Structure 1
Amino acid sequence: MTPTLDTRPRIIALMGPTASGKSAYALDLADRLDGEIVSVDSVLVYRGLDIGAAKPARDEQARVPHHLMDVRDPWQPYSAAEFAVDAAVAIDGILARGKLPILAGGTGLYFRALLEGLAAMPEADAAQRAAIAAEAEASGWPGMHAALARVDAAAARRIHATDAQRIQRALEVYRLSGRAISEWQRDAKMKTSCWKVLKLVLAPPDRAVLHARIEQRFDAMLVEGFLDEVHALRGLPELATHAAPLELPAIRAVGYRQAWQWLDGDGDATLFRERAIAATRQLAKRQFTWLRGELAARWFDPVTQRMPLDAAVAGFIGQPSA
């Protein structure tokens, strides 16, 4: 029996931990293959978060069209469900222009929302979130993680004990519905993709190499004026008058939270740097946990395995490799 030819439009998904080289490789691919980039990053969506978020420079954005960056102010909410809708619109527009869509980022929830769909679980509830935040103030987020483990052991195994945002959401869903978030996620119907997707994980095999890149990149951010950027954010009226700016997803982002705390007088410059680098390494660790679950993805180090990486892309899009 002759196999059915897959005629779905092709898109490339570049996944990986922070500081792994995704953005640089996405730019290179877009240059070579006439592509446009769709950012899959929950920090790049915010205006004003540039240096600390490693947002592509203005000349890079001018060289290659980028989508889903600077779509919200840092005090505005933006959900994974909204991202999925916006990203699908961006992808369809890129395909309509005859270009290659290149997804690039490290936010696993955004990738899942776009490529697999999300469970129809309860919407966010401000009162419930406030109650959980108050409990966390008293017992700490590790204590809230222990509370989550008692009602949803599967979710607690996936969520780090200091990941406040995900702990809060998991507890919120359980308290609103009486049902574990892991059950909602398990029952979610997988979205039948209208695109053929090549999933590539870009990451060095040696974790120490990534840790060194994280440290080097953070020091470069400081030289570029990261603290001036955070000063400017603190001066925005909507943030300066916000009751709890550190509870906003934008300001909770690694680096920004630690800089904000230091500018509030918590610790010295050395401690700030250590905290920010440690938080970034923890983020990378969580990203690796998610990436290991992407069974259909192929792993490459974009530095030492560039030729086989390029060959995988060429084979997917039907072009001879260089």
Structure 2
Amino acid sequence: MPAVFLLGPTAAGKSALALAIAARLPCEIVSVDSGQVYRGLDIGTAKPDAAARAAVAHHLVDIRDPDQPYSAGEFRQDALALIAQIEARGRVPLLVGGTFLYFRALERGLATLPAADPALRLAIEQEAATRGWPALHAELARVDPVAAARIAPADRQRISRGLEVYRLSGQALSVWQAQAASAANPPAVRLILAPPSRPALYAAVDARFDAMLAAGLVAEVAALRATGYDRELPALRAVGYRQVWSHLCGETDYRAMVEAGKTASRQYAKRQLTWLRGDPHGHWLDPAGADVLDRVCALIETGAA
């Protein structure tokens, strides 16, 4: 059986389904979650508890401290090695999560782009201050229409990077990315778990945030804050952690923190759904479907592409 990719928006029920699959089939779970790699970020990342990790082998969980970076490139390298090791043991690699940048890095590879040039980046920002970002987006469309078609005219960071790469190398960013995409991709069954209606997903998102607060999310963030970590660390800018940290600093009251956390979580889920709808190969599954586990296991056992 090939590897299995189980993707879906936050709060869709991926972890519970993964454990149910592993109870039926000889799987090991590889986390595809940019938050679960960090020690101490447990409640807010919905990290599998000790019982789940004792029942089924989990990989790429608790492998970094919050102030230690972990990149998509490192994930790709680690995940490819784990897939090979798990398959060598005669088991099925079950890659589960909602960090789609990691999935994309695994499937398409990563371009070895020219290093950032602070002076050029500053020059581009100064141009934008004078001409406006839409004008720079139009310039990007002339030199790299493929990349520009994927980038909104107001997306400053990606417009800047696209122009920076082109000006440094004379080669379009999309060309660099296409070269990376030629890397060998692991064959996989792609499963997408998502409620059929957006209101149902948003209700699940809100309920999960309430459950995280009840489980001690505020105390978890307080402990991270007491350790002396910088609140601007990427790990601590994650949805939920950012809002609770702001509350602990006295910048918002509890009620405002709860609403901000839920709103940010719903927005994140919406972005994830938008990403997933562009996937032409995934098998879409309703987490509330009575036969979802039987259907998933049949897809895995037949190696459905």
Instruction: Tell me which interval the TM-score lies in, with the shorter structure as reference length.
Output: 0.7 to 0.9
- In the alignment, is residue 307 of structure 1 matched against residue 291 of structure 2? yes
Choose from 25, 47, 51 the match for 2:39: 47
Choose from 57, 69, 73 the match for 2:61: 69
Equivalent pairs, count: 292
Q: Distance in 2 between matches of 1:109 and 1:32?
A: 29
CA gap 1:17/1:256 in 2 versus in 1, 3 angstroms: same
Q: What secondary structure, in the 3-state scheme, does the structure 2 residue paired with 1:56 have? A: coil
Q: CA deviation at 1:94?
A: 1.1
Greater length-normalized contact order (CA 8 Å, ≥ 6 residues apart): 2
Q: What secondary structure, in the 3-state scheme, does the structure 2 residue paired with 1:199 have? A: strand
TM-score (norm 2): 0.84
Deviates more, 1:116-125 or 1:64-73: 116-125
Q: CA deviation at 1:268?
A: 1.0
Q: Is the 1:129–1:168 contact (alpha carbons within 8 Å) kept by the matching residues of 2? A: no
- Partner in structure 2 of residue 3 of structure 1: none
Q: CA deviation at 1:235?
A: 1.3
Q: CA deviation at 1:70?
A: 1.1
Structure 2's unaligned 5+ residue stretches are none
Q: What secondary structure, in the 3-state scheme, does the structure 2 residue paired with 1:62 have? A: helix
- Partner in structure 2 of residue 5 of structure 1: none
Q: Is the 2:221–2:241 contact (alpha carbons within 8 Å) kept by the matching residues of 1? A: yes
- Partner in structure 2 of residue 317 of structure 1: 301
Choose from 256, 272, 276 the match for 1:287: 272
Q: CA deviation at 1:118?
A: 1.7
- Partner in structure 2 of residue 265 of structure 1: 250
Q: Is the 2:193–2:287 contact (alpha carbons within 8 Å) kept by the matching residues of 1? A: yes
CA gap 1:300/1:51 in 2 versus in 1, 3 angstroms: same
Q: Is the 2:17–2:293 contact (alpha carbons within 8 Å) kept by the matching residues of 1? A: no
Q: Distance in 2 between matches of 1:151 and 1:275?
A: 37
- Partner in structure 2 of residue 19 of structure 1: 11
Q: CA deviation at 1:79?
A: 0.9
Q: Distance in 1 between matches of 2:153 and 2:202?
A: 21
Q: Distance in 1 between matches of 2:226 and 2:23?
A: 38
Choose from 197, 201, 221 the match for 1:206: 197
Q: Distance in 2 between matches of 1:46 and 1:173?
A: 30
- Partner in structure 2 of residue 227 of structure 1: 218
Q: CA deviation at 1:311?
A: 2.6
Give, as a single letter, the amino acid of the residue that structure 1 aligns with 2:163.
Y
Deviates more, 1:151-160 or 1:114-123: 151-160
Q: Is the 1:43–1:53 contact (alpha carbons within 8 Å) kept by the matching residues of 2? A: yes
Q: Distance in 2 between matches of 1:46 and 1:38?
A: 14
Q: Distance in 2 between matches of 1:281 and 1:182?
A: 31
Q: CA deviation at 1:314?
A: 1.8
Give, as a single letter, the amino acid of the residue that structure 2 aligns with 1:45.
V
- Partner in structure 1 of residue 92 of structure 2: 100
Q: Is the 1:300–1:309 contact (alpha carbons within 8 Å) kept by the matching residues of 2? A: no
Cα RMSD after superposing both structures? 3.1
Give, as a single letter, the amino acid of the residue that structure 2 aligns with 1:296.
H
Q: Distance in 1 between matches of 2:217 and 2:99?
A: 22
Please list the CA deviations of residues 99-135 of structure 1 after superposition, one character each: whole Å capped at 9, or x if unmatched. Answer: 111010111110011122122223467x579969xx7
Q: Is the 1:122–1:173 contact (alpha carbons within 8 Å) kept by the matching residues of 2? A: no
Q: What secondary structure, in the 3-state scheme, does the structure 2 residue paired with 1:37 have? A: strand
Q: CA deviation at 1:168?
A: 3.7
Give, as a single letter, the amino acid of the residue that structure 2 aligns with 1:316.
I
Q: What secondary structure, in the 3-state scheme, does the structure 2 residue paired with 1:200 have? A: strand
Q: Is the 1:51–1:225 contact (alpha carbons within 8 Å) kept by the matching residues of 2? A: yes
Q: Is the 2:151–2:158 contact (alpha carbons within 8 Å) kept by the matching residues of 1? A: no
**Where does 1:78-97 land on structure 2 (aligned, <5 Å)?**
78-97=70-89
CA gap 1:261/1:313 in 2 versus in 1, 3 angstroms: same
Give, as a single letter, the amino acid of the residue that structure 1 aligns with 2:220.
E
- Structure 1 vs Structure 2: percent identity of aligned residues? 49
Q: CA deviation at 1:53?
A: 0.7
Q: Is the 1:251–1:257 contact (alpha carbons within 8 Å) kept by the matching residues of 2? A: yes
- In the alignment, is residue 256 of structure 1 matched against residue 241 of structure 2? yes
Q: Distance in 1 between matches of 2:71 and 2:282?
A: 25
Give, as a single letter, the amino acid of the residue that structure 2 aligns with 1:303.
A
Q: Distance in 2 between matches of 1:289 and 1:171?
A: 23
Q: Is the 2:21–2:293 contact (alpha carbons within 8 Å) kept by the matching residues of 1? A: no
Structure 1's unaligned 5+ residue stretches are 1-8
Q: What secondary structure, in the 3-state scheme, does the structure 1 residue paired with 2:104 have? A: helix
Q: Is the 1:20–1:210 contact (alpha carbons within 8 Å) kept by the matching residues of 2? A: yes
Q: Distance in 2 between matches of 1:53 and 1:214?
A: 13
CA gap 1:312/1:216 in 2 versus in 1, 3 angstroms: closer
TM-score (norm 1): 0.80
